[in-house]
Structure 1
Amino acid sequence: MQSLASASLSLLVESPEECQSRTAVAPLERMKILLQVQNPHNIKYNGTIQGLKYIWRTEGFRGLFKGNGTNCARIVPNSAVKFFSYEQASKGILHLYQQQTGNEDAQLTPVLRLGAGACAGIIAMSATYPMDMVRGRITVQTEKSPYQYRGMFHALTTVLKEEGPRALYKGWLPSVIGVVPYVGLNFAVYESLKDWLIKSRPFGLVQDSELSVTTRLACGAAAGTIGQTVAYPLDVIRRRMQMTGWSHAASVITGDGRGKVPLEYTGMIDAFRKTVRHEGFGALYKGLVPNSVKVVPSIALAFVSYEMVKDILGVEIRISD
């Protein structure tokens, strides 16, 4: 019941904050996706600052926030499912671990936390993946695109009608694989850093068993940096696979060298192979800079606000429990 209460609190309290934070960094999110799928033979965006200026000049202020509405709608169920799943998975894994070791006082190890975080990420991502897929397409389309999605529901119904239900899960496999290092490392690094700081108290940073908000923010930032850097190439491949088969795509998506014909991928490995072959290894990290600017503080705030809200409202189970 406490875990259910925690998830409900996350949905009611954290989701509005998530939507506000996502809206604040929406231009960076759109810039990241455009850089990820940009045709290397038809360069429009040479970097974050130049790209944002180009969007402002060609699409106006609203262009900076294209796709943000769908992203906010996705965050509400995603956040609740993720944190609820993490606490349930942690309890289940800890119970099995205690039974296996015969030690009722055993605690979760970093590897077990990694597993619990990965389970939570996969469940949450899978539940909301169709919304993420159409959000990517809405974000990529420009004013010059030959066809326009009018919104999330129009995009969902159009993709279903023209490409079939399987199209809503294009890029799902690299997303699942990427969840393991991304969400798993986020939780594992965050919790492990907290435990280490409390037990070792380096440089006098910790005076008692409770970490300050600033210290917890630093733990969250470190977790976000490590997780997103390791998993980023899979995110690039995910976005490129989402664009395949879209006959109305603008020429901004990655092409075959002629600038208009989008590459077709037979699967994740084929997408990796073609991306590296045509554009080099560095293409797997396109858009990393704007992504880092928005992701690292976002993850840090998400962890801290979640624990603080539960403390204020008296929910005893913490993420680390």
Structure 2
Amino acid sequence: MASEDVKSSETAVSRIVNLAEEAKIASEGVKAPAGIAWLTITKSLLAGGVAGGVSRTAVAPLERLKILLQVQNPHSIKYNGTVQGLKYIWRTEGFRGLFKGNGTNCARIVPNSAVKFYSYEEASKGILWLYRRQTGNEDAELTPVLRLGAGACAGIIAMSATYPMDLVRGRLTVQSGSSPSQYRGIAHALATVLREEGPRALYKGWLPSVIGVVPYVGLNFAVYESLKDWLVKSRPFGLVEDTELGVATKLACGAAAGTVGQTVAYPLDVIRRRMQMVGWKDASAVVTGDGKSQARLEYTGMVDAFRKTVRHEGFRALYKGLVPNSVKVVPSIAIAFVTYEVVKDVLKVEMRISD
């Protein structure tokens, strides 16, 4: 299944990239000088990377707690909520424990965010060109549904490109001081997974990740851009006086986008985390932290993971960690969008998300 997932991901990504490139070439007609084009692309990728790193570091403690809540053993509960969970980590692992796995997280999220934002811009251009060609209206604008499609394309490309880092980040985040075996870092974790579980293991949980990223990233971009567009055009309650929204308003749009996206996609994120732990011989000890040998649930696929999770722990298990995740997502997505646009302004990149 993992092999089929990888092959299908490569095919989908290739088609999306080719379509976007063809549409871009056709819509632009005349290409910009190579040097200028590469400089613009580099600046756009840099802005996306900075946005991802800043936003994720700001909420790193909540990110770690969310993953611990998602994968903890239901018979050995250590984390009962956001405040209690953060206090427990502080008490048992200290300040550094709150940011455990953040280096790996940033190593994954920086390129992921860079690719995601840039892919969204390119996918938006391609989809808008196709839409105008189909309708015959050269002045047509992106609709919320089209923005959802562009965001979905961006999410699939970014997720597929950086998925092995996501798997390693999850395992580094979950392991604790009582784990019998320790990953010493990103490179060691990748090498260990390849040696002990094989290359297919790097894409465990890829399918629910992609299925989850379609509504999550798609809704993030669609809600954010549509809200901004609505505010500029309707100017409700006198919130907007010109065509340029303030930072506070953009943060509010980003917060709304993050809330909608993560609520819809959260169960798939839980299943992805659990599938990523399958095959890790020390996963049960890491999750329970009690030093005892415990049986691990094995999943044959995404549907099986859903079924076993609901049967053994109930439907509510699909939303474990939702509260700290909600507290994390709201500022994280908001900060990412605003940071991206601010950095692009500083770097003087003409191309913006909304263009």
Aligned with 1:161 (options 175, 187, 195): 195
Aligned residues: 318
Aligned with 1:238 (options 266, 272, 296): 272
Aligned with 1:77 (options 105, 111, 115): 111
Could you give the per-residue CA deviations for residues 4-37 of structure 1, whole angstroms, max 9, x where no partner exists?
A: 5555224434534543442332221111000000
Partner of 1:172: 206
Partner of 2:217: 183
- Comparing 10-19 with 45-54, which one deviates more in the overlay? 10-19
Partner of 2:237: 203
**Closer/same/farther in 2, CA of residues 35 and 7 from structure 1, 3 Å limit:** farther
Kindly report which structure 2 residues correspond to 1:1-321, keeping only aligned pairs within 5 A, or say none. 5=39, 7-13=41-47, 15-16=49-50, 18-251=52-285, 253=287, 260-321=294-355
Q: Within 2, Cα distance between the matches of 1:220 and 1:7? A: 24
Q: TM-score, normalised by structure 1?
A: 0.93
Which ranges of structure 1 fall in alignment gaps of 5 or more residues?
Answer: none
What is the identity, as a one-letter code, of the residue corresponding to 1:206? V
Q: Within 2, Cα distance between the matches of 1:47 and 1:314? A: 43
Contact 1:190–1:220 at 8 Å: present in 2 too? Answer: yes
Q: Within 2, Cα distance between the matches of 1:163 and 1:223? A: 37
**Closer/same/farther in 2, CA of residues 3 and 177 from structure 1, 3 Å limit:** farther
**Closer/same/farther in 2, CA of residues 259 and 237 from structure 1, 3 Å limit:** farther
SS in structure 2 opposite 1:120? helix
Q: Provide the identity percentage.
A: 81
Contact 2:49–2:110 at 8 Å: present in 1 too? Answer: yes
**Closer/same/farther in 2, CA of residues 224 and 3 from structure 1, 3 Å limit:** farther
Q: Within 2, Cα distance between the matches of 1:306 and 1:57? A: 35
Could you give the per-residue CA deviations for residues 122-170 of structure 1, whole angstroms, max 9, x where no partner exists?
A: 1111111101101111111111111111111100000001101110011
Contact 1:221–1:300 at 8 Å: present in 2 too? Answer: yes
Contact 1:198–1:211 at 8 Å: present in 2 too? Answer: yes
SS in structure 2 opposite 1:60? helix
Q: Within 1, Cα distance between the matches of 2:96 and 2:158? A: 29
Q: Within 2, Cα distance between the matches of 1:295 and 1:210? A: 25
Q: Within 2, Cα distance between the matches of 1:312 and 1:70? A: 27
**Closer/same/farther in 2, CA of residues 307 and 6 from structure 1, 3 Å limit:** farther
SS in structure 2 opposite 1:251? helix
RMSD of aligned Cα (Å): 1.9
Contact 2:211–2:268 at 8 Å: present in 1 too? Answer: yes
What is the identity, as a one-letter code, of the residue corresponding to 1:30? R
**Closer/same/farther in 2, CA of residues 284 and 3 from structure 1, 3 Å limit:** farther
* Distance apart, 1:57 and its partner CA: 2.3
Could you give the per-residue CA deviations for residues 206-225 of structure 1, whole angstroms, max 9, x where no partner exists?
A: 11222222111111110011
* Distance apart, 1:76 and its partner CA: 2.1
* Distance apart, 1:187 and its partner CA: 0.4
Contact 2:48–2:116 at 8 Å: present in 1 too? Answer: no
Q: Within 2, Cα distance between the matches of 1:75 and 1:317? A: 22
Q: Within 2, Cα distance between the matches of 1:310 and 1:42? A: 47
